[in-house]
Each structure stands twice: as structure tokens, then as C-alpha cells.
Structure 1
């Protein structure tokens, strides 16, 4: 297929694509189109930045049939409110010339406003599992007419602990429906859910799970501590080539800490998003980044998941993620749409195992870079680093070989302690008790 015109789309949908300037489908859009249009269940595996959203929206909207019912016919579940806003935006763009009402629902806002919108009628709902389940349990959101269930970022939904909400939502829907599932990686949790709740979905895979994007240059620095990481980060961000970058950290506390330290020199150039920030703050931060009002964005994996932000020149892993698949997702934020990019990772003492897991997953080593001479290597440790170092030293001491006298004592103790409930032990234990009772009786007799 050479273009979207070969998909034989409806006039309204084709006109919308023309308005957006989309003429040629991406590989995942080509692969998924005919399979989704067949009505079969689909499991799509594709790296981020490959056009997954349009890969499921275009065929689903092509097959959409108007009804007078006020209840939704299409349900799209995503992990975060930011992704709800993004996917809803794509739906609205594609349905510009179609008689379709769409609605985004998520927590953190007035639920009554969402209830009112649902009562007025809606064809497509894009939502987070928690708020969708709440509205369904209240009897406001009817799911029994949904004939197409789409779950985007399936692996991340399960990683965030949404499995109970998902299974509850499944139980409220009719069994005869088409399930369209998209995921960046195929994890064990995803595989288990497919086996338990879906009927042999056909897999559409653009690349094997965990395959790195070859256009991305991957580099790693071995650094001794947090402060040296920070010194290197400040050094790199002063370079001209760092025009549009994402800085990934593993949790909210680290995000705040890195932002506070960078704000001393780069406050006008960076923003931060994580789940403790208000919805408006997060949306404004993402907008500022998308519109290049700021150069950098510090974020956790949860917040950045699925966000469509183009032309990112560098991804910086301030720390390695706990799951190696997450690393693949992070670096995939750059090198999108056939363009090159750079992924730079900082590897501290506690990152070593996570780094090894990533390299095993990719079946390749990440290129190691020398620390620039102008970067100060700090000897100052933060409180949590001192604690980690102390625990490591204790662990090493426990494994350290002891002297002969200690070994003899240990061997003797081992014989006694690990002998089990033998007759000898029982007899000894019993004789000790009898002697104790005898002594107590003698003392009592003297007093009397």
C-alpha cells in the first residue's frame, strides 16, 4: 500500500487525514489495518513513536456505524489523564467530518460534569480504568453496548496495578465484542491477561519486544554518586545540541530533587511533571514543552507514557529503570518517525544490575563514555547513598572469610543448632528443667 487512499476510507475520514497532512501510513498502521477491519481480536506490539494511536483509530472509525443510542459503542482505556487528553485530541481531529461525539473521563476533576456529558449521549469514551469503573458502577456509564474495546499501553496499565479495574470493566461488557490491544512490550503480565480474558488475539508486531531502535545512539557514563551525576547533567545541558530533551527519573522524590538542583541554573529552560503535580500544572508543562517554550522536561515513566512529543533530540536516563523494558520505552521517545536521536544514561553504583538487565534484553552493550575533564567528580554522598554504602559494607563483611578460631566455633555451633529434634537434645532440655525445679524447691524449703 502506498497511501491512506488505498484503505478505501469514508470521505469524512479521508478529508480529516488530508487536513492533518497525513498521506502515507506507518508500518504498524499498514500491518494493523486489515487485521482490525476483519473484526478479529488484535494484539499489537510496536515501539513508541510508530503511530500506534492512528493504527487503531483509523480502521475503527472506518467501520463505525451510526446509531441513535446515547450509550458508547467504542471504549478506549489508557493509563494516565495526559494520555486521555492526547488520544481524545486525535479522535476529535479524525472525526471532524463525522457525526460522532467523544468524551474523555479521568479522575482529579468534578465527576458530576462528566456524568452530565454522558447523560447527553456519547459514542466514543476515552478514559482511565479507575474513573470508567466508578461511573459504570454508579450506573451512569453503560458499557453493555460497547462493541469495540481498545486498550492502549496495555503493559503500563498492568504495571500500574489496574488489573482489578480492567477485569471489573470486562465483566460489565457484552462478550461479543472486538478487543484491540496495543502495547510497547509483551510482558508476562500481558501474556497472562491475554490467556485468561481474550480469545486468541492475532498478533501484529512491528518489532520483537525489547528490540532497540537502531537509529538511536546509546551512551552510558559510569558515575560514583548523585552529585557527580548532577554535575555531568549541568555540563551537558549547556551544550548547543541539547535543544529538546527529556530527563527520566524513577520516582517523584527524585524528580523534585533533580528539578530543584537544575532550577538554580536552568529554571527558565526546564519543566517537571509527576503524579503529585496538579492536572493543570502537568498539562501546562507538557504544552510548554510541546510548543518549545522550554527545552527540557523532567518526568517519571508514568507521566511520559504514550505522550506524543516529537523532535526530541536527547533522552537522558538520570537513573536506570527497574524494568529493562522501560528503558526501551524511554529511549524510544527520541529517534521517532525515522529520525535519529541520542539516549544518554547515567549509571551509579545502584544502577549496575539494572543496566546489565537492559544489555541482556537488547543483546548488546551500551557504549561507555569517559567523564569530561571539566566535570567535577564529587566525593559528597547524600543520606540515602550513605545508607546504601553502609548496607553494602555490612553485606560484604558477612561474606568475608573469617579466622580459623571463628571457623571452628562456627562449625561447632552449626552442629548444635542444626541437629534437629534429637533424643539427646530433648533429654538435655528435660534435665535442665528438672534441675531448675529442684533448685527452686530447695530455696523454698530454706525460707520455710
Structure 2
């Protein structure tokens, strides 16, 4: 196995790697180093948790010369704010002994503060597409000096609907630049983007996206409904020594909130939750507290946890079975990182068994099925989504558990049951109140005075 010393790193980079305690590069880091340094366009396909950030940053920092320029030379695009913070942190670790200026920009914070930071001069910008485009349109950020463009987690970016912003950003960049793209999956959208914007790219592919990682033990349970899943989860989490750092994945934000409330009732402040409806400060705090071990359990949606790197996650719990099989690979890749052993547990209802079969076909691996522990109560309580259609309201956004539909029709009250009687109705009113039809009807008033 090769070491970092064989990669022809600069002394400053080697010192930083030594400080981090790393000895051997991962396969994607080793394969990418010389190709990225060559200046050619690069497409890297590797599973999450294999060190993609270092794979593109090591060669970039190796050849990034010190220049007193105001405008950035390296642009790194990532899909979420959390990933911006993480990539900036990784770059700062690597650039510990290098004079390089790094700035992360993302939405949800004051854009004027970011404009001021850019105006002071930066070498590397790490950004989400939306905020970067806003800054570029303001003319504070000049993109014509960009020499290297990195698009990280590009498949997630396209899933989140960032294609339009990416195309606009490409128009603002210089034609002569190096394109570096890293993704966990190769989809048709990703392939189209490579065809349209990359020039004869060199492809680096490490492991098929459906191949299960050897150091992750996978298990599964067949569970009848949501609240039985909750009971099973409570049973597992009671073993705090074994389940020391647990990342729980759900598909929807409403499910995340509902599950978090159920866990919080039993385990209190041991749990936290993260999804895109939470405020920026709340999300950052949840990530930090989970990473530092202050919270033992983190409930997350797929998009929010994609690409985040947590140390020593003991278990990944797939509370629901993802309908896209490759999402399962991204989920379980949160544990067993850096060649450490991890454990993944999959919960599946009867409706989700078809999804489970699809991901087993993708991996060419049958996930071992465990019997439900006797202590776990089979719940008869159903969520609104689990009730038969005739028993539940149609909106998928409701999270009420005890919603009982009432009659849709009721009789009008007596005062609201009048109908339009036209002219005769107005005559009846005139007789009753002895008033002119209008205040301005002089002839009517004269007739009444004569009487």
C-alpha cells in the first residue's frame, strides 16, 4: 500500500497530513492526484466516505502558487450549506502551513458580510450555486479569474434542482479552465452535463456505486408500521454502550419531525434533528453537537446528511427503506468511514419490501433478516399515511395522528338561507321599513309626502 510521501506532496502539505495522522491515501486520492495535477478535466466516481474532498484538494493545493490577487482562482461548488462549512474546514486543515485564503458562501446569511469578505481578496471560494450566482451578479465576485472549477456531489445538486444555476454560472466562467467533478453516482443527468461542458475528461472510478462496503455489517427488520418501528428503535437505543452514535435516516421532513418528537419523549436531549426547514443556526448546532458527541442520536433527511463526514458513527438506521436504491448506499456510507467497522440497520414495512428487493439486486447482496425482539410491542396505531384512503384526509402534509374526518356537508343557518327574490323582494323590504329605495330618489320621496 502506498503512502502520502509517495505522492510528491509539498513539504507544507506533508506536514499537515502528518498532523492529521494520515499515512495511506484512499484509492480515489491516489488515483486522482496525478490526473488533477495534469490540468485535464476529471470526472471522479467514488462512494461517499472515501475521501473525495482530499482527492481534489491535495493536487490543487500542491500547485496553487502564492499570488497577491484580489479575485479567486479556485471555485468549489457543493449542494448544501453544511457541506460548504465542512469543505472549508477540510481545506483549512490541509492548508495549515500554506498562505492561502479560503471563504465559504451560502444562502440564509447576510450577503453584505460575504461581499465584504470577498472584497478583501480570496484564493478559494466554496459555495452553494444560488448564493454564488447572486454574488457574481452583484459584480463584487469576479469569476473570470477562475482557473479550476470543482463540482462536488454533482448528482445531489441536480436532484435539488440546481441545473439552471449551474448553467448560468458556467456562462460567467472563463472558457479556458480545468473542470473537476466528483459524484457518488453516474446518472443520465450527470452524463449529459459531462458531455456538454467537459473536454475529453479523464474518468476515475473507484468501486461500483452499488457495491456494499466490506467493513459495514448490514442487518434488516420487517416491521408492520411506523409506530412499531418507533418501538423497535426505542428498544435498540436503550443499549447506550452499543448504540453510542446513531444516525437515523428518513425520507421526508414531516417524518423527521414526527420521529424526533417520539425519540425526544424517551431520550430527551440525547437526540437532535436536521432537515431543510430548520434554520441555519439550528442545523449547524445539531451537526456540531452530534459530531462532538453531545447528542447521541441525529435524525436526518437524505439531502441534508449527504456528504457530511461524522467521526465514529456506530450505527446508521434506515428508518424507512429508500425508494431509490443508490440512496441506501449513501446512507450506510456515513458509518464505517476511513476503513473503520460500521453497522447498518434497515426497517421495512410490507409496502417497502419492493424497494428493499431493488437495493439487494443493485448490491447483489441479500441483507440478513432478524426477528423482532419479543420485548418490542406491535403497535396498532397508524399514521395518517398508513390509514386506508377512505379513512384519511388527502393532504400528505398533515402529521396529525388522531385525525377523524367529519361530515363535509351541513345545513345553512336560518339567517344565511335567504334566496335572491329580485324586484319583489326589494318591494317587500320597502313596505316593511317605509323607506325610499335610495336616498337620491326625489320623485319617490315627493309621492310619499303627498300621501
Q: Which residue of 2 aligns with 1:32?
A: 32
Distance across 2 between alignment mates of 1:314 and 1:251: 20
Could you list the per-position Cα deviations for residues 95-150 of structure 1 after superposition, in whole angstroms to 9, with x for gaps in the alignment?
22222111000000000000011111111000101100111112121111101001
Q: Secondary structure at the match of 1:43?
A: strand
| Partner-residue secondary structure (3-state), 1:349 | coil
Tell me which residue corresponds to 1:45: 45
1:4 and 1:23 in contact (8 A); partners too: yes
Query: What count of residue pairs does the alignment treat as equivalent?
Result: 391
Distance 1:189 1:156 in 2: 11
TM-score (normalised: structure 1): 0.85
Matches of 2:184 and 2:224, distance apart in 1: 32
**Distance apart, 1:330 and its partner CA:** 0.2
Deviation larger for 118-127 or 183-192? 183-192
Q: How far off its partner does 1:389 sit?
A: 8.5
Deviations 1:274-319 (A, max 9, x none): 1111111111111111111111110011111111102111100110
> 1:339 aligns to what?
340
**1:318 equivalent in structure 2:** 319
Instruction: Could you tell me which runs of 5 or more consecutive residues in structure 1 were left unpaired when the two chains were aligned.
Output: 392-448
Q: Deviations over 1:412-439 (max 9, x none)?
A: xxxxxxxxxxxxxxxxxxxxxxxxxxxx
In the aligned structure 1, how far is the partner of 2:389 from the partner of 2:18? 56
Deviation per CA, 1:177-210, whole angstroms, max 9, x where unpaired? Answer: 1111111111222112111221231111110122
CA offsets 1:76-104 (integer angstroms, 9 cap, x no match): 01111111001001111222222211100
1:367–1:57 Cα change, 3 Å: same
Tell me the equivalent position of 1:361.
Answer: 362
* 1:389–1:371 distance in 2 versus 1, CA, 3 Å: farther
Structure with the higher helix share, 1 or 2: 1
Q: Secondary structure at the match of 2:352?
A: helix
Deviation, 1:66, is 2.5
Equivalent residue for 2:54?
A: 54
Q: What SS does the corresponding residue of 1:141 show, helix, strand or coil?
A: coil
Residues in 1 aligned to 2:366 and 2:84: alpha-carbon distance in whole angstroms: 36
Match of 2:283 in 1: 282
Decide whether aligned partners of structure 1 residues 389 and 294 sit closer, same or farther in structure 2, where only a CA change above 3 A counts.
farther
TM-score (norm. length: structure 2): 0.84
Are the structure 2 counterparts of residues 200 and 209 from structure 1 closer, same or farther at C-alpha, using a change threshold of 3 Å? farther
Superposed displacement of residue 46, structure 1: 1.1
**Residue in 1 that maps onto 2:178:** 178
CA contact (8 A) 2:28 2:46 kept: yes
Deviation beyond 3 Å, 4+ runs, structure 1: 387-391
Distance in 1 of aligned mates of 2:359 and 2:74:
37
CA-CA distance at 1:266 after TM superposition:
0.8
What residue number does 1:104 align with? 104
* Equivalence for 2:91: 91
- Tell me the distance in 2 between the aligned counterparts of 1:69 and 1:182: 28
For structure 2, which runs of at least 5 residues remain unmatched after alignment? 393-451
Rounded to whole Å, the distance in 2 between the matches of 1:214 and 1:71 is 44
Pairing 1:146-225 to 2, within 5 Å after superposition? 146-225=146-225
Distance 2:352 2:327 in 1: 14
Cα separation, 1, equivalents of 2:139 and 2:355: 45
1:266-281 superposed matches below 5 A:
266-281=267-282
